[in-house]
Amino acid sequence: MDFEEVLKRVSHAVNHLICDGHYNHCPPLDMDYDVNAECLAIKPTDEIVRMVDSLTTVAIASELQKEFPMIEGHSSFFFEFPSIQQISEALHRGDRDLELESLKPEHVKIYPLPPGKKDIPAGACTPELVFFTQLLDTHSQACLHPLHCPKGDFHFSTKDGRFQRRSDGMECLLIPGAEVRIGGGTLEKAERGEQPTHLVKLTSFLMDVEPVSVGAYVRFLNLLIPPPTQAELLDWCVLAPGDMRQCHSPIVRRDERWHVKEDVLPNWPMILVSWYGANAYSLWAHGEDWHDYKRARQSFLPSEAQWEYAARGTEPQSYPWGEALHAALLNVCWDQRVLLELADAKLQELPMDPVNLTRGVSSFGLRGMAGNVWQWCRDTYDPTFYSSALSVCDNAWNSQEGRAKSERGGSWAGPPHLARSSCRRGRIPEAKGRCLGFRCCAPATFVAS
């Protein structure tokens, strides 16, 4: 396949997805091709990147994989927004890989290992998908809530701190290490489990810029090899027969594949997902064995301390932006009587924000850090944990055995005070809620040079 033919097919694939309105929630994509250039980047403009969620990246990569199936064994390749020249070269490598693959048993798939990686954990995401790609443009967007916070940029610079996880296209921000105060602050009324306040030293970590979306979770389910068993699916995101919440599940299995339900936005947060289902995704996305989803030791969900610091930074404030309460800032239930009206609501009528909507934004630029959906944390929940010596250890998290897992952030179904950054609750890990989602977190060593 010559260079011009590759260009034509790339243009067709991406334009079909974006410009033809296949994803109506995405703005048109400015391709900005120069047919005379030696390398023709297919990366969207920075303005578009800021306007859409990470699902768009996944969709573009998936569409290009369909257009160039011979590069299927190197699917992470498309998450790096390759040039046309690089795609042309990869096609030849792909032909050779397919020839070698045909000589192996059907169930065996060999992936190239990165330097220093000696083996692939069974059931893990392929190693080539594990690493993060740095996003070189700076986060120069002005304060997202000009009516309720000072003029200027985010309190913390994200220059050189933006990365993209290659397994699912998620944008992640590098949160700098610091000694931070955890627990109920002086400007708020602390509730059970939020006291005593204490200092914790945290090393740098990567935090997802937004909760994991329905579209991203569906893709995860479809990519698992071997597919999860029915028992595992019931542990994660499938409701038992007769569960009255079946009508509110955002995903459906049809023709041996998982799909986002019709009339559901793919960039809605994934809900009705248990701690087990969130942990399985976090393991897969970071190259670990997702079969080990019932243990927290190797989890890539944030600790409670990481989550609280990422939400409000080093300021002892109630909410990520300060003390102001306004519907423009967070999605919560301002009048609990409204919940009665939602008892028989259709799935599409649940008052959830898309994950890329700029509400609940922290000073680091993380979206959805207050309200919309609760988010699972790595820790075992213990209301007395802050009184223990373990709570003040470096990078503290509660690794003790227990029946409940922690959740943070509040939701569309709860009052504003539950969306405070220090507010903490616990649920059993099997719990699935219509107002409960998750995001991932990883050590900064994943991007250390």
- Counting every residue written for the chain, the total comes to 449
Evaluate if residue 156 carries a pLDDT over 80: no
Classify residue 76 by its DSSP letter: G
What confidence category does residue 97 fall into, taking pLDDT thresholds of 50, 70 and 90? very low
Q: Whole-number mean pLDDT of the chain?
A: 78
pTM for the full predicted model = 0.72
Mean pLDDT of the 123-148 span: 46
How high is the pLDDT of residue 72? Answer: 52
How high is the pLDDT of residue 442? Answer: 95
Q: State the Cα–Cα distance between residues 211 and 213, nearest whole angstrom.
A: 6
Evaluate if residue 332 carries a pLDDT over 90: yes
How high is the pLDDT of residue 387? Answer: 94
What confidence category does residue 76 fall into, taking pLDDT thresholds of 50, 70 and 90? low
- Contact (CB, 8 A) for 120 and 111: yes
What confidence category does residue 83 fall into, taking pLDDT thresholds of 50, 70 and 90? confident
Mean pLDDT of the 153-181 span: 79
Enumerate residues 6+ apart whose C-beta is below 8 A from 321. 145, 148, 149, 329, 361, 362, 363
- Contact (CB, 8 A) for 175 and 206: yes
Evaluate if residue 31 carries a pLDDT over 50: no
ω into 226 cis (within 30 of 0) = yes
Mean pLDDT of the 271-299 span: 94
How high is the pLDDT of residue 153? Answer: 34
Mean pLDDT of the 275-304 span: 94
Mean pLDDT of the 127-140 span: 56
How high is the pLDDT of residue 130? Answer: 44
> CATH second-level architecture of 129-449?
Alpha-Beta Complex (3.90)
Q: Which residues of 33-66 are buried (b: 16+ CB within 10 A; e: fewer)?
A: eeeeeeebbbbbeeebbeebbbbbbbbbbbbbbe
- Stretch among 8-12, 62-66, 157-161, 373-377 having the lowest mean pLDDT: 157-161
User: What percent of the chain is modeled with pLDDT above 70?
Assistant: 70
- Contact (CB, 8 A) for 201 and 179: yes
- Contact (CB, 8 A) for 239 and 249: yes
Mean pLDDT of the 166-177 span: 91
Q: What is the pLDDT of residues 308-318, one digit of tens each?
A: 999 999 888 99
Look at strands 205-208 and 198-202 and give their pairing. Answer: unpaired
- Contact (CB, 8 A) for 374 and 410: yes
Q: What is the pLDDT of residues 172-226, one digit of tens each?
A: 999 999 999 999 855 456 677 899 999 999 999 999 999 999 999 999 999 998 9
Look at strands 441-443 and 205-208 and give their pairing. Answer: antiparallel
- Stretch among 35-44, 54-63, 212-221, 359-368 having the lowest mean pLDDT: 35-44
- Contact (CB, 8 A) for 332 and 323: no
